[in-house]
Structure 1
Amino acid sequence: MWLTNQTQDVEFFLLGIFSQSSYPGFLFFLIFGIFLIAVSANIILIILIHFDSCLHTPMYFFINQLSLMDLIYISVTVPKMLANKLVNVRTISIWGCGTQMFFYLLLGGSEYCLLAAMAYDRYVAICHPLRYFVLMNHRMCHLLAAACWFVGSVDGLILTPITMTFPFCRSREIYHFFCEVPAVMKLSCSDTSLYEIFMYLCCILMLLIPITVISGSYYFIVLTIHRMNSVEGKKKAFATCSSHITVVFIFYGAAVYTYMLPSSYHTPEKDMVVSFFYTILTPVLNPVIYSLRNKEVAGALKKLLRGGKFPY
């Protein structure tokens, strides 16, 4: 139980990013606008993929899962942050803090694995095109997606209870805009060094396996593209991978900074900026990247805007 050494009326104070800004009002409306765009863009992408039969392929199945994760991801942190600013409070209950922590661990871990599954999908599509729909059949896609959600759930179920059962006898002020594990751990008055080592090893495992799959997939993709004689074929192959590579660099870059760099590289201000990037900006960038770089999505969107009917 989260509250083994706590009381149910314990509250934390999220100092957030508004206190660090010279223009908190402008920042509020900026984040609110980004939130609306992210929610709208991901919902639209999910709708397009669901209703347009041209997008009923393994690649878009995984993009649909990515949009769902991003939609939940940004909804876990931003509404609470904006609500606190609106009513001029900074508190979050211990249950609310634990819930935030669990979902961002779940979704972060799931997305690491999903990006690896998407890399494998591109590998099969480019290196084994004739067997693509056999290897990446309906059952395999759902198994991979379920495995991604399961791994993320295990990550959240392990780290959240451990973190929230440490005694918090220091200041209740969290120098962050949501309950991220490293920020919450700084409030504990007990020795957390062993747990930090365990968490570090978990993060290495969570990042190393997907990165290995992604690196291996793109190694064989590059070899296959290099052997292609058709310039048009090479361009098409690179085009199908460019969106995924962009998302991988954005998401994994932020994750490596947050969980793998030594504490000497971290400051509360830097941590908030990096977390702002991957929890708020990434969910709005992902659908934009995939919408602009995929003709099929652009075509489906034009069809929707024109009021056309989707083929089922």
Structure 2
Amino acid sequence: MLEIEKTLIHLSHCRGFRHLNFFKLLKADPTLTSIYGFSDQEIQLLFKLTDQTLPQFLQDFHSFNLQDIKAHYEEQNFHMLTLFNDTYPELLREIPDPPPILFYKGDISLLKSKKMISIVGTRNPTTYGSNALKKIVPPLVRDGWTIVSGLAKGIDALAHCAALNEKGATIGVIAGGLHHFYPKENKALFEKMSSEQLVLSEHPPNVKPQKWHFPQRNRIISGLSLGTVVMQAKEKSGSLITANTAIDQGRQVFAVPGSIFDDFSAGANQLIKQGAYLAEDGSDIINDLFLQV
């Protein structure tokens, strides 16, 4: 392991660590060695820590033991992949704010695929949404695409399950750490994917999910993928945040149309008005992206 990776792992386990502030440090010092000579006040300024959070950061900073952490993670079958590792996914590396470190459990070789597509949507899908997935996912899996989603209730979970049912590959990106999976009703799916597929988080395993983690992880879902498919999303929803993030990342956005009388289709229909590619079948997505793979 490179020394710069060890420093990143060290910092990522300090409460108050923020990836955007980390990139400021990296730009000023590409070796990351200067942090060990900083005063408490310089650390507070760099990571924008309050007087209340500074002692927490410093406690973690001065008590960290890499060997102990690695031994604990090995027992749990948890692993770490940093931005400085050659196996870090290239598509994710291209986004403006890639996670400096990924914590994962499962088959890391799934990240080698160039054919990744993310699928997001409502947490309360109707029969229409469930049936639409049956037209979207199977053709993609048969063509070798890996399904990426957030392991959330609703469309996320259904997309993962559809990929599993087709004997395909699927990746879950969660908010919070691997020790604190949410929501509980998808715990069995999380366990299955952790052992047979791949689950990722940008937070250390002991971090409990916070509200701000969910929109933040959306950039990883879209960042891993050549395109993002939105189905059954209201006009103001997390799915549209993911779609807009994908657009900002220069990725294709697909939307599955729905009834004009259904609030759950309003967001997807709006995306189509704004130029998203209308997807009625998985083959629509395959045909649009074939030149990129």
Give the structure with the higher percent helix.
Answer: 1
Give the structure with the higher percent strand.
Answer: 2
TM-score, normalised via structure 1 length: 0.23
TM-score, normalised via structure 2 length: 0.25
Larger relative contact order (C-alpha < 8 A, sep ≥ 6)?
1
